[in-house]
Structure 1
Amino acid sequence: MNALEDIFHSFELGIRSSKAVKPKAYLNSLGLDYNELRIGFNSGQFHHNKEQEFKDQCEALGLLVKSDAGVNKEGLTAYTVFGRYGVVFPLLNQSNEIVNLFAIRFELSTPVEEYLNEQGIYPSYPHPLTKKLFLVPTALDAASLMQSKALENRESVLALHDGKLLPQHLEAIKALTELEEIIILKN
């Protein structure tokens, strides 16, 4: 298992916490069910009480960025946390490993959507026998389409990165040997 898999698993546990009232209410307002989709919650504290080696690894992944903010204990480093207090969706590579995260920081005056990097696909690489492919602007749009149960047999959805078609999307589309139709949904 890779580091992003482990961290995302902690986010999946986080959304199931009894303290995660606001993220559950936010998902409910969108019609999304974390029991049916892989969705997590990042409270921004996954690095607390962890060894420096873990924090260094998270910093290398882009999950933590050192900050000049004050800390209440001598010798501690302050960090800005990716997707802090946000719902988080995993993006996968062809081997179904988590290689990226999409977060929505919903508690801000204007919600902020952010990707950790430009790797991976949400929700996953489509089955090679897909006949109809829906391309949607973001992971949130893809999750909504999947949750709606509107997709039929041999239909798949791919979320673009902020509306951008990246090389991994083209690679995934080219691998669809029975593709008959691509439907592009825009906001």
Structure 2
Amino acid sequence: MQNLEDLFHSFETGIRSIKATKPKEYLNSLGLDYAELRIGFNSGQFHHNKDQQFKDRFEALGVLKKSDAGVQKSTMTAYTVFGRYGVVFPLFDKENTIVNYFTVRFGLNSPVEDYLNADGVYPAYPHALTKRLYVVPTVIDAASLIQSKALENKDAVLALHNGQLLPQHMEAIEQLQELEEIIIIKR
């Protein structure tokens, strides 16, 4: 694993694991199907038994942060893992490369939603020939709209970042050559 793309593939494998019953139950409660959407599960263990160079790469990406938690051996370093025990959605740049993650840590008293950084869009940059664009407040709203099968040919959806319209959203919208309508869905 070298980057966020490779790591996300491991998260997709994680959600398909027979042991991943709780994340599957959580997604089911939202009406989302990991077999139809790109959703993964971060158990928080992807860095276990890996060398320091591996850990350094993901620390630089912000997925791992050194922690002062206790460890079994004094030669080991503890890490906090971004999105630990959460479902993970990928965000993409205009080259369709994963540049960010949105996670929902569902195992807590109340679910915690978080982004790794401020890059990318979900579910992807819309096709240039999109005629009708739905803009929704959250990644979960976008995933739900996609899952509903309500989108027609030449429709697309774009999730805001914590309810915010960022420069990458404007860039995605401005490249739409056939855009006729933007539908903003609020909560």
Give 1:50-89 correspondences, 5 Å limit.
Answer: 50-89=50-89
**8 Å contact 2:2–2:57 — kept in the other structure?**
no
Structure 2 residue identity aligned to 1:174: E
1:96-146 CA distance string (max 9 Å, x none): 110000000001111110000011110000011111101111111110000
Q: 1:27 matched to which residue of 2? A: 27
Q: For residues 55 and 173 of structure 1, what CA distance do their matches in structure 2 show?
A: 36
Give 1:13-24 correspondences, 5 Å limit.
Answer: 13-24=13-24
Structure 1 stretches of 4+ moved >6 Å: none
User: Shift of the alpha carbon at 1:73?
Assistant: 2.3
1:129 equivalenced with 2:111 (yes/no)? no
Q: For residues 108 and 185 of structure 1, what CA distance do their matches in structure 2 show?
A: 28
Q: For residues 12 and 82 of structure 1, what CA distance do their matches in structure 2 show?
A: 16
Q: For residues 74 and 67 of structure 2, what CA distance do their matches in structure 1 show?
A: 15
Q: What is the percent sequence identity of the aligned residues?
A: 72
Q: 2:8 matched to which residue of 1? A: 8
Structure 2 residue identity aligned to 1:110: S
Structure 2 residue identity aligned to 1:169: H
| 2:91 counterpart SS class | strand
Q: 1:117 matched to which residue of 2? A: 117
Give 1:132-171 correspondences, 5 Å limit.
Answer: 132-171=132-171
Q: For residues 175 and 88 of structure 1, what CA distance do their matches in structure 2 show?
A: 27
1:99 equivalenced with 2:106 (yes/no)? no
Q: For residues 162 and 136 of structure 2, what CA distance do their matches in structure 1 show?
A: 9
Q: For residues 147 and 111 of structure 1, what CA distance do their matches in structure 2 show?
A: 21
User: Shift of the alpha carbon at 1:2?
Assistant: 5.5
User: Shift of the alpha carbon at 1:36?
Assistant: 0.5
Structure 2 residue identity aligned to 1:137: P
Q: For residues 60 and 155 of structure 2, what CA distance do their matches in structure 1 show?
A: 37
Change (3 A) 1:168 1:2: farther
Structure 1 residue identity aligned to 2:14: G
Question: Where do 5+ consecutive residues of structure 1 fail to align?
Answer: none
Structure 2 residue identity aligned to 1:50: K
Structure 1 residue identity aligned to 2:85: Y
CA RMSD of aligned residues (A): 1.0
Structure 2 residue identity aligned to 1:70: G
User: Shift of the alpha carbon at 1:74?
Assistant: 2.8
Q: For residues 2 and 94 of structure 1, what CA distance do their matches in structure 2 show?
A: 20
Q: For residues 137 and 104 of structure 2, what CA distance do their matches in structure 1 show?
A: 14
Question: Where do 5+ consecutive residues of structure 2 fail to align?
Answer: none
1:143-164 CA distance string (max 9 Å, x none): 0000000000110000110000
